[in-house]
C-alpha cells in the first residue's frame, strides 16, 4: 500500500511540474548559481503546493545566497516546520536559517538554528556547514566566558582583556574603521563581529587556522589582540565597496596591507628581502602566481603596489577595478598607462 501511495505521489508531482520544471532541474539550476531563475520558476509551482519542502528550501537557499536574508527566512522556516521526517532538507534549512539570522543580527535565533542543524546530524555537508559556523560565529562553548561589547560599528568578543584595555581597543578601532571607510564608502550589511584572541594557540586549536583572518561575507574578523588595526577590517570593508566577482592575492591582500594603518617602512622591507634573496620584482608573475612567494615579501610588496595604483589612477577607477582584480581587467579599466606604471614601479623597487 505504501509503495502504491508513493507512486501516486510521485505521479502527482510529475503532473503538477510537468508543464514547467522538475525539482531536480531546479536544483541543477541552483548548483550552477542561476539563482534568480530558480526563484522565478519555483514560485509559481509553490502556489499549487505551498508546503512543498523542496520548493521552499530551494527558494530559501537562493535568497540566502543572493544575500536577501529577510526574504529567505519564511521559506526556510516553512521547510523546517513541514519536514516531519527530519531529512537533509530540514538540516539545510536550519543551517541556512542560522546564517540568515546571524546576518540580521538576531544572534539567539542564529545560534538556535545552527546548533539544531548540527545536532540533527543527517547529512555530512550540512553538519559540517553548521559546525564551521558554530566556531566562526562564536557559538561554541569555548567562547562562553568571552566578553561581548558592542560599539557603533562592531560587536567585539574579547577572550581575555581588562576593562580599560577594552575601552582603548574599541575607541581606536572605531576611529580606524571611519578613516578607512572614507576611502571605500562602503555600506556594511551588519556590524562586524570582531573576535579579539589573547592566544594564537587556542585559535589554532579551535579554528584550525592561523590568526588573523576575515570572513567578509559574514562580516567576521578573528584577530590576535596585537595585530594591526586596519588589515582584517579592510578585508570586510573593501568587500562591500563594489560587486566582487574575482579576487587575486596581489590586489586583495595589497589593499588590506595598504590600509593597515601601520607606519612600517614597507619599501625597506621589500628591498632588504630582494637583496637577501638575490631576486627582482616582476609584477606580472606575482599577480599570476601569488602563492609562490613568501608572505614576508609578498604582503608588503602588494601594499606598495596597490598604493601605486591608487596614486596613479585615483579612488574611483581603483574601486571600479577592485571588483575584478585580474591584470586583464586592470588593462581595461586603467588603459595603456598601466604597463608604464608597472614598469616604473618595478624599476624603482629593483634598484
> Which of 256, 298, 329, 349 lies at the binding interface for Zn ion (CB under 5 A)?
256
Question: Sign of the C-alpha dihedral, residues 211, 216, 220, 225?
Answer: positive
Shortest distance (Å) from residue 177 CB to Zn ion: 16
CB 220 within 8 A of CB 296: no
Query: Binding marks (x or -) toward Zn ion, 198..237, rule CB under 5 A?
Result: ----------------------------------------
With CB atoms as reference, the residue minimizing the distance to Zn ion is 256
239 binds Zn ion per the rule CB under 5 A: no
Considering only CA atoms, which of 74, 70, 75 is closest in space to residue 30? 75
255 binds Zn ion per the rule CB under 5 A: no
Stretch that binds Zn ion, among 7-15, 61-69, 252-260, 285-293 (CB under 5 A): 252-260
Stretch that binds Zn ion, among 115-123, 172-180, 247-255, 321-329 (CB under 5 A): 247-255
Shortest distance (Å) from residue 64 CB to Zn ion: 26
Nearer to Zn ion (CB atom), residue 110 or residue 256? 256
Q: How far is Cα 197 from Cα 227, in angstroms, rounded to an integer?
A: 10
CB 99 within 8 A of CB 67: no
Nearer to Zn ion (CB atom), residue 57 or residue 301? 301
DSSP characters over 180-247: HHHHH----SS-EEEEEES-HHHHHHHHSSPSPEEEGGGTEEEEETTS-SSHHHHHHHHHTSS---B-
Nearer to Zn ion (CB atom), residue 253 or residue 308? 253
302 binds Zn ion per the rule CB under 5 A: no
Q: Is 262 helix (H, G, I), strand (E, B) or coil?
A: coil
Residue 306 grid coordinates = 596597490
Considering only CA atoms, which of 228, 323, 325, 317 is closest in space to residue 286? 325
Pairing of strands 192-197, 154-158: parallel
Stretch that binds Zn ion, among 128-136, 246-254, 268-276, 278-286 (CB under 5 A): 246-254
Nearer to Zn ion (CB atom), residue 44 or residue 208? 208
DSSP characters over 30-65: HHTT-HHHHHHHHHHHHHH-TT-HHHHHHHHHHHHH
Nearer to Zn ion (CB atom), residue 83 or residue 215? 215
Q: How far is Cα 217 from Cα 181, in angstroms, rounded to an integer?
A: 17
Nearer to Zn ion (CB atom), residue 159 or residue 256? 256
Stretch that binds Zn ion, among 94-102, 200-208, 255-263, 282-290 (CB under 5 A): 255-263
Shortest distance (Å) from residue 45 CB to Zn ion: 43
Shortest distance (Å) from residue 231 CB to Zn ion: 6
Binding site for Zn ion (CB under 5 A): 253, 256
Amino acid at each position: 500500500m505504501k509503495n502504491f501511495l508513493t507512486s501516486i505521489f510521485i505521479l502527482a508531482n510529475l503532473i503538477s511540474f510537468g508543464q514547467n520544471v522538475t525539482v531536480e532541474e531546479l536544483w541543477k539550476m541552483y548548483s550552477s548559481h542561476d539563482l534568480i531563475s530558480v526563484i522565478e520558476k519555483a514560485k509559481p509551482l509553490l502556489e499549487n503546493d505551498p508546503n512543498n519542502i523542496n520548493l521552499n528550501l530551494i527558494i530559501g537557499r537562493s535568497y540566502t545566497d543572493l544575500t536577501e536574508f529577510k526574504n529567505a527566512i519564511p521559506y526556510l522556516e516553512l521547510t523546517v516546520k513541514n519536514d516531519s521526517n527530519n531529512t537533509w532538507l530540514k538540516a539545510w534549512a536550519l543551517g541556512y536559517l542560522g546564517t540568515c539570522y546571524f546576518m540580521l543580527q538576531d544572534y539567539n535565533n542564529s545560534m538556535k538554528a545552527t546548533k539544531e542543524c548540527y545536532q540533527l546530524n543527517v547529512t555530512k555537508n550540512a553538519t559540517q556547514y553548521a559546525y564551521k559556523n558554530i566556531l566562526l560565529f562564536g557559538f561554541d562553548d569555548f567562547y562562553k566566558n568571552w566578553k561581548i561589547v558592542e560599539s557603533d560599528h562592531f560587536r567585539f568578543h574579547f577572550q581575555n582583556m581588562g576593562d580599560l584595555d577594552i575601552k582603548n581597543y574599541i575607541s581606536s578601532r572605531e576611529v580606524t574603521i571611519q578613516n578607512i571607510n572614507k576611502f571605500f564608502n562602503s555600506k556594511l550589511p551588519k556590524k562586524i563581529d570582531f573576535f579579539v584572541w589573547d592566544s594564537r594557540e587556542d585559535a589554532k586549536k579551535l579554528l584550525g587556522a592561523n590568526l588573523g583572518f576575515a570572513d567578509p561575507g559574514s562580516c567576521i574578523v578573528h584577530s590576535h589582540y596585537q595585530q594591526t588595526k586596519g588589515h582584517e577590517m579592510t578585508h570586510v570593508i573593501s568587500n562591500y565597496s563594489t560587486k566582487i566577482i574575482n579576487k587575486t592575492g596581489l590586489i586583495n591582500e595589497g589593499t588590506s596591507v595598504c590600509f593597515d594603518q601601520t607606519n612600517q617602512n614597507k619599501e625597506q622591507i621589500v628591498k632588504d628581502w630582494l637583496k637577501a634573496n638575490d631576486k627582482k620584482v616582476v609584477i606580472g608573475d606575482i599577480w599570476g602566481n601569488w602563492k609562490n612567494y613568501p608572505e614576508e615579501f609578498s604582503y608588503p610588496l602588494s601594499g606598495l603596489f596597490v598604493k601605486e595604483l591608487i596614486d596613479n589612477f585615483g579612488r574611483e577607477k581603483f574601486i571600479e577595478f577592485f571588483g575584478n582584480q585580474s591584470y586583464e581587467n586592470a588593462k581595461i579599466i586603467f588603459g595603456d598607462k598601466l604597463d608604464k606604471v608597472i614598469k616604473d614601479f618595478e624599476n624603482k623597487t629593483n634598484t
